[in-house]
Structure 1
Amino acid sequence: MNTGYQERITQLLKEHGVTNHELAEAIGKGKATIGRYLTKGATRTYPSIEDLALIAQYFKVQPHWLCFGIGDKHTHAQTLTNAVNVGASTVSVYTRTEVPRLLSGEQADSVSSIPVPSKHNNCFGVLYPVSGALSYKWDCVALVEQGQEWVNDDIVLARLPGNDYPEFFTLVKIGAVIHVWYGDDTSKNAIHQVMDDEIDVIGVVRWGTWSKRG
């Protein structure tokens, strides 16, 4: 079981407006128990699989997602099994702020894992920022492939000068100058113009998946 369950429980508490005390009562635990499950300090205790299953049942999410970050909140276990049986692979999904740790070989905390076609098993997933009304109902994961040359109009995960964390950009190279747009919206003017050595392209977005929020 990875420690990402802490972030997933915290996410559910916020989404549903539930306090630690209310959750503890719902699963038959003392009021301080949830706090000890979620702390990263010396007082931390680890929930049993049974307790995590009760928490999943309370929030009406899938226990394999809560415990291990496999699939998403509402992906049934049989769906994952069927996907694997027809040749799917499972890749980990990270936030953009965790990507530098992943690239440096440090322990990066994943937020989930998702089944993908086997041709994408060399990719890793990154949460793609969703704006507007969609952001309240949907999450998007972009699969990022490293070691591939990008071409004009590709969406890439990259860092611009002075930025510690990567963002998603669309790139178009005209002559020696790379024109940069945030995300996939190229309907407005480019936000930056840079040279090859001024942008750190981590990888090219090859495929994406949407999941509806609970």
Structure 2
Amino acid sequence: MDYGYQERIVALLKANKITNHELAEAIGKGKATIGRYLTKGPTRTYPSIEDLSLIASYFNVQPHWLCFGVGNQHTEPSELTKAASSSATMLSVYSRAEVSELLETGKAASKGSIPVPPEYKDCFAVLYPVGGSVSYKWDCVALVNRELEWINDDIVLARLPGNPHPDFFTLVKVGTTIHVWYGDDTSKNAIHQVQDDEIEILGVVRWGTWEKRI
């Protein structure tokens, strides 16, 4: 069990507008018990697998996702078994804020993991930002390859001048100038124009997967 179960439970509570007290009653525990499950302080206690399974059942999500962050909320165990038997590779999924630590140390706190085709085993997976009403129902995970050279219209994970945090951009180079759009939206004017030595390319996006939320 990874400790990300705390964040997953909190997200489910918020998404479903459920209080700690309501959850406690549903699984036959006291309100204070749920509080101790979710705190990061010295009063923290750890739920049993059985309690996490009850919580998963209450929210109608898969227990392997809630306990271990494997797959998504609704990935059936048979799908994971099928993916594993077909030589799929499991990749940990990271937020953009965790990418710097991952690349510097090789380790970072993940948001879970997803099965991907084996040809993407050398990639790392990062949550891709989506906006509008889509963001309330779907997560997008982008697989990023550090070894590829980008070409025009590629979506890349990169750092812009003056910003230490990486983000996703679409790049088009005209002459010696790189035109930069945020994400994959090139319908508006570019947000930046930079030179090769002013942008740090961390990797090129080559594949992605959508995961439906509750």
TM-score (structure 2 length as normaliser): 0.96
What is the 5 A alignment of 1:34-73? 34-73=34-73
Residue 199 of structure 1 aligns with which residue? 199
Tell me the distance in 2 between the aligned counterparts of 1:9 and 1:157: 29
Partner-residue secondary structure (3-state), 1:90 = strand
Residue 183 of structure 2 aligns with which residue? 183
Tell me the distance in 2 between the aligned counterparts of 1:114 and 1:171: 27
- What is the Cα deviation at residue 107 of structure 1? 4.5
What is the 5 A alignment of 1:1-214? 1-105=1-105, 107-214=107-214
- What is the Cα deviation at residue 158 of structure 1? 0.9
The one-letter code sitting in structure 2 at the alignment partner of 1:74 is H
Partner-residue secondary structure (3-state), 2:105 = coil
Greater mean alpha carbon deviation, residues 126-135 or residues 150-159:
126-135
Per-residue CA distance 1:25-80 (angstroms, 9 max, x = gap): 21111111112111122221111111111110010000000011000000001101
Q: Confirm or deny: 8 A CA contact 1:157 1:205 kept in the other structure.
A: yes
Report percent identity of matched pairs.
70
Equivalenced residues, count:
214
Per-residue CA distance 1:173-196 (angstroms, 9 max, x = gap): 112211100011112111001111
The runs of 5 or more residues in structure 1 that have no matched partner are none
Q: Confirm or deny: 8 A CA contact 1:157 1:203 kept in the other structure.
A: yes
Q: Confirm or deny: 8 A CA contact 1:179 1:192 kept in the other structure.
A: yes
Partner-residue secondary structure (3-state), 1:104 = helix
Partner-residue secondary structure (3-state), 2:31 = coil
The one-letter code sitting in structure 1 at the alignment partner of 2:139 is D
Per-residue CA distance 1:144-185 (angstroms, 9 max, x = gap): 111221111110011112223211100111122111000111
Tell me the distance in 2 between the aligned counterparts of 1:4 and 1:114: 15
Q: Confirm or deny: 8 A CA contact 1:3 1:109 kept in the other structure.
A: no
Runs of 4+ in 1 over 6 A off after TM superposition: none
- What is the Cα deviation at residue 95 of structure 1? 1.2
Greater mean alpha carbon deviation, residues 134-143 or residues 203-212:
134-143
Q: CA RMSD in A?
A: 1.2
TM-score (structure 1 length as normaliser): 0.96
Partner-residue secondary structure (3-state), 1:32 = helix
